[in-house]
Structure 1
Amino acid sequence: MTVSTAHPATGAEGVRIVTVDHPPVNALPVQGWYDLAEAVRAAGRDPEVRCVVLAAAGRGFNAGVDIKELQRDPGNTALIGVNRACAEAFEAVYACEVPVVAAVQGFCLGGGVGLAGNADAIVAGEDAVFGLPELDRGALGAATHLARLVPQHLMRTLYYTARTVTAAELLAHGSVWRVVPISELLDAAVELAAEIARKDGGLLRLAKAALNGIDPVDVRRSYRFEQGFTFEASLSGTADRVRAGFGSASGKEA
């Protein structure tokens, strides 16, 4: 699991890129979520940074939690750990001191929706799909963040069916800024971030705090409320029953 930070090419002063790389599908273990949270927080704390680009290497942006890590734990230690770690990572993006632009390619599932949904802006590749397969994985959560991307009835339909929605569809809903060929994704995300970063850094930080303060939903409390039902599903045995049907051929994804 690697989380790296870098400055983009010349012409994007004040922009920091945070890239997650965890093959094969960027499904993160508990520590990976904490590492991501710390990288985003550190970038936002840097007084030279005025916008962060959250990107990922490999086939997709993020496939959620590492289901195999949960399956290896006979108790609830891993579940408690991932609940807390995901909440930390989502919160780090939301509360980052400067705006965060998510550069999303391929699959953005489960925890990926939590990250993208809490970002300030999204630039997506033409191949990007977003969704919550939680009900197929014995879990609940991140409806809070999906609701920031699509209208309520569509959110519920997507949640209950575990279907995905394309970047082009999210563009029509106004939750994605641009959809570009995958080869142009990082450049397009950095371009938007650079435009944001040309504003005064102090004023940007105030703007981020102000916009978070007028959100109609407290995303932190809302997500933690959802997580309580995930834990209930685990204690009741429902989660184990559903996860038992999770095909081993699918590898690490959530």
Structure 2
Amino acid sequence: MSAVAETQNEQLITRTDKDGVATVMLNRPKKFNALSMAVLDALLEEFTRIGDDKSVRCVVMAGEGKAFCAGHDLKEMRADTSRLAMQALFGKCSQVMQKITSIPQPVIARIHGIATAAGCQLVATCDLAVAVEEARFATSGINVGLFCSTPMVALTRNMPAKQAFEMLVTGDFIDAQTALQYGLINKVVTADKLDETVMEMALKIASKPAVSIAFGKQLFYKQIEAAKQVAYDMAGDTMTCNMLTEDAQAGVDAFIAKQPMPEWKGK
């Protein structure tokens, strides 16, 4: 396990790679993994590095300690309330969230404890999410007078509008089953099954042809906000490019010949 960023000998995030899966761990347990500027810098750097690493086929986003992520570091925010400082903080957070969706590898959020404000945004931003039964989610900024505007961007792209708006204006927590019902997460499991379930999903994704996954993830986020005809045009172009890859052609040939799938080359 390697340190990615350090402040006063504290490893703010760590990364562990195994079997094509990179696990990025928020490591501020005493601060409930609050997203300070230093943490955001480290996350942006690490996800940029992962995006260029062809040995990584899937990513797990997790938190050390009792919580997944409690959002921004409010004490740090109060230390400098200038417009420039606030713009820099929220701008950097937005960069991190967009980097997660732009890298070719799917990112799975592994959630325990609470995921609040920008922590809930992080869950909504990840491509997939698995939570324990006891997990709770909230966009609770409104409770201290700060509407969760940037978390709203990710939240409203995962959940029905009225349910998202209720979370934003009340600041109330929802439990894991409600989050599943709303579409914020994919699975709810018991605590003893969390790591097993997350790794099973990650390894299944890692076993697929990386070039096809990359094509698909990029298209997914582009087409979802496009007009239907534009989306179909983009999808047709993507499938054409995908079908011209060595992996797709070898996979189709194996299927026709009723043979096992080949070893994917990433080409």
- TM-score by length of structure 2 reads 0.75
Tell me how far 1:64 sits from its aligned partner.
0.6
Aligned match of 1:119: 126
Three-state SS of the structure 1 residue aligned to 2:177 is: helix
Name 1:68's counterpart in structure 2.
75
Considering Cα pairs closer than 8 Å and 6+ residues apart, tell me whether 1 or 2 has the greater RCO: 1
- Correspondence 1:205 to 2:214: yes
1:149·1:170 contact (CA, 8 Å) conserved in 2? no
- Partner of 1:28 in structure 2? 35
Q: Are 2:16 and 1:17 equivalent residues in the alignment?
A: no
Q: Secondary structure at the match of 1:7?
A: strand
Aligned length: 213
| Offset, 1:144 | 1.5
Paired amino acid for 2:22? R
The 1:64–1:175 alpha-carbon spacing in structure 2 relative to 1, beyond 3 Å, is: closer
Q: 2: distance between equivalents of 1:183 and 1:82?
A: 36
Q: Which residue among 117, 129, 144 is the counterpart of 2:153?
A: 144
Deviations 1:128-176 (A, max 9, x none): 1111112123323211122233211111111111011111112223442
| CA shift digits 1:88-122 (9 cap, x unpaired) | 11112111221111101111111112211111110
Distance 1:79 1:173 in 2: 31
1:175-234 deviation line (CA, Å, top 9, x unaligned): 4221112233222111101111110011111111111111228xxxxxxxxxxxxxxxxx
Structure 2 distance, partners of 1:76, 1:70, is 11
Q: Distance in 1 between matches of 2:139 and 2:183?
A: 19
Map 1:117-196 → 2, pairs under 5 A: 117-140=124-147, 141=149, 142-196=151-205
Q: Which structure has the larger Rg? A: 2
Q: Aligned pair in 2 of structure 1 residues 165, 149: CA closer, same or farther (>3 Å)?
A: farther
> Which deviates the most, 36-45 or 86-95?
36-45
State yes or no: 1:2 paired with 2:12: yes
- Runs of 4+ more than 3 Å apart: none
SS of residue matched to 2:13: strand
Partners of 1:173 and 1:97 in 2: CA distance: 26
Q: 1:74 to 1:159 in 2, by over 3 A?
A: closer
| Percentage identity across paired residues of the two chains | 26
Structure 1 Cα separation of the partners of residues 103 and 145 of structure 2: 30
